[in-house]
Amino acid sequence: MSKAGQGRMWRRSAAVLAVISGLGSPSAWADTLADALVGAYTHSGLLDQNRALLRAADEDVAIAASVLRPIISWSGDVTRQFGNSTSAATGGFSRDAGSTTATIGLSATLQLFDGGADAARVEASKETVLATRASLLSIEQNVLLRAAVAFFNVGRQQEFVALRQNNLRLLQQELRASEDRFEVGEVTRTDVALAEAAVAQARSNLAAAQRDLIQAQAEYANATGRQPGRLSAVPRLPRTTTDIGNAQSVAVRTHPEMEQARRQVAANELLITASVADRLPTVSLDGSLGLQENLGNRNGSETGSIGVSVSGPIYRGGELSARERRAMAVRDAARGNLHNVRHDVQQDVVDAISNLVAARASLSASERQIRAARVAFQGVREEATLGARTTLDVLDAEQDLLDAETNRISARADQYIAAYQVLESMGLLTAQRLGLPVQIYDPAAYYNLVKSGPTKRSKQGQQLDKVLRALQPSD
């Protein structure tokens, strides 16, 4: 090889090593992981949907408790009666016997005893509220994990595109150098064809990387409600554990899916209690006031009553027994679900931790692969300057080095994703535990406003209306 050809090879090799060195460090990005998580927390329609479902469950408590409070009703009517009457006193002539009466009444009922059936249903509704809160936390974890995965995948694809762009640029330089050397007879047409094929493959790889980046950006925008810019430097890995036994113990205690399943079992146990109590008599205190007035002659009457009524089932076609058996079957199904959820949660911990361990090992191996590939590339480059290696050997060595860098980019992203999957599997991936700078949604605030069943016109009811207006979605 001529001195001019050797000089071109040296300059190109130095450029390759500079590119590889630069790609090994985090990019200077703009959006941070915290930005992505905050965006997901505030943007997610799925969270809004499940917060509304929680508010509906809160109202179920007020509805269930309403039967334990006095029930007061009013009624009123105006009745016109038509007719004629005759008598000796009127000389046999007919006389209008019609009349118009107005009646208004007020009635009140207070349940004194029902065997505890309605009280048990109120407690079951409260357990359902707690189960729904746990479901909301589970949704929150999924939303935040999706945002984290989207963040790291965008970063991965941005680095892939940069890597492919540099690869294409360097291969185009190699093609031009091969064409120059072919003109002076230093290489054969085969060397030029090899360089052309490498450039074509690099263009194809770049197009695929750009497609993957566009798709990753679309997923990021969907998950966070914002388009990604150049992402920030890779954050520190979250503190987590690789002790499977300890992580499983934490998950069984704290994972919201476990809490949801436990609360569902408790709610169905209470519904069995209510079904059994439905067989008992019901005692109620009843009272009424009435006023009736004849609008024709202004005669009227006032009435009132108060009493205690007792009623109970004797035979209802087997309905009560069927309801009790049904409640027991639903309770057994909830227990089976709790069993399944416990094992699923434990398996998710194993999967997440094994992914994290594998990603760490892969990252360490890719670092060693890069060091070895760099040494190999430098050796092939030196041998090529002495004529002991061909253009194909140099291209292969360069590709090995770029492949090693690709593996490192993927392994680093996989390590971060796996770390956040571990947090999610343990039930620790929530806005509050992560300390996100957002207004944390308080699931108890709405419940405290509605649990006493405030009326529309009461002070508490008016405050509730303001809360409901504030909760309306903006789009």
The whole-angstrom separation of Cα 221 and Cα 39 is 9
**Residues composing the chain:** 475
Rounded Cα distance, 126 and 263, in Å: 9
Radius of gyration of the chain (CA): 39
Secondary structure (3-state) at 281: coil
Contact in structure between 242 and 353 (CB atoms under 8 Å) = yes
Long-range contact list for 436-442, CB < 8 A, 24+ apart? 436/34, 436/37, 436/38, 436/41, 437/34, 437/38, 438/38, 438/41, 438/42, 441/47, 441/51
| Contact in structure between 284 and 112 (CB atoms under 8 Å) | yes
475 residues of the chain, pLDDT tens digit each: 444 444 444 344 444 334 333 433 444 345 889 999 999 999 999 999 999 999 999 999 999 999 999 999 999 998 888 766 666 665 656 666 667 888 999 999 999 999 999 999 999 999 999 999 999 999 999 999 999 999 999 999 999 998 889 888 888 887 887 788 788 877 778 878 888 898 898 899 999 999 999 999 999 999 999 888 777 767 788 888 899 999 999 999 999 999 999 999 999 999 999 999 999 999 999 999 999 888 767 777 888 999 999 999 999 899 999 999 999 999 999 999 999 999 999 999 999 999 999 999 998 888 888 888 888 877 877 776 666 776 677 777 877 888 888 888 989 999 999 999 999 999 999 999 999 999 999 989 888 888 877 665 555 555 555 555 555 555 5
- Residue 94's pLDDT is what? 64
Q: Long-range contacts of range 316-320, CB-CB < 8 Å, 24 or more positions apart?
A: 320/275, 320/278, 320/279
Q: Each residue of 241-252: b (16+ CB within 10 Å) or e? A: eeeeeebbebbb
Residue type, 202: A
Residue 395 tokens, joined? 């291209």
Residue 270, CA distances (Å) to 103, 135, 277, 324 in order: 44, 20, 11, 11
Based on the number of CB atoms within 10 Å of its own CB, is 84 exposed (0-12), middle (13-18) or buried (19 or more)?
exposed
Helix axes 189-224, 117-183, angle to 10 degrees: 160
Cα–Cα distance between 420 and 238 in angstroms, integer? Answer: 7
Bridge partners for 84 per DSSP: 96
The CA distance from 109 to 72, in Å, is 7
**Beta bridge mates, 86:** 94
The phi and psi torsions of 184 (rounded to 5 degrees) equal -100, 5
Beta bridge partners of 111: 284
C-alpha 100/C-alpha 129 separation (Å) is 52
Residue with tokens 């004797």: 314
Distance CA 78, CA 227 (A): 66
* Alpha-carbon gap, residue 416 to 423, rounded angstroms: 11
Report the pLDDT value the prediction gives residue 228, as an integer from 0 to 100: 86
Can you say how many angstroms the Cα of residue 382 is from the centroid of all Cα atoms in its chain? 55
Closest by Cα among 393, 371, 445 to 129: 445
The topology (CATH level 3) of 3-77+98-441 is Outer membrane efflux proteins (OEP) (1.20.1600)
- End-to-end Cα distance, the chain: 68
Classify the C-alpha dihedral 459-461-462-467 as positive or negative: positive
Q: What is the pLDDT of residue 462?
A: 53
- Bridge-based pairing of strands 99-113 and 71-81 is antiparallel
Please report the pLDDT score of residue 161 as a whole number.
93
- In sequence order, the 6+-apart residues with CB closer than 8 A to the CB of 195 are 171, 174, 175, 178, 179, 391, 395
Amino acid 309 reads: S
Strand segments (E) across 82-202: 84-86, 94-96, 99-113
Q: Which H or E run contains 84?
A: strand 84-86
Domain ranges of the chain: 3-77+98-441
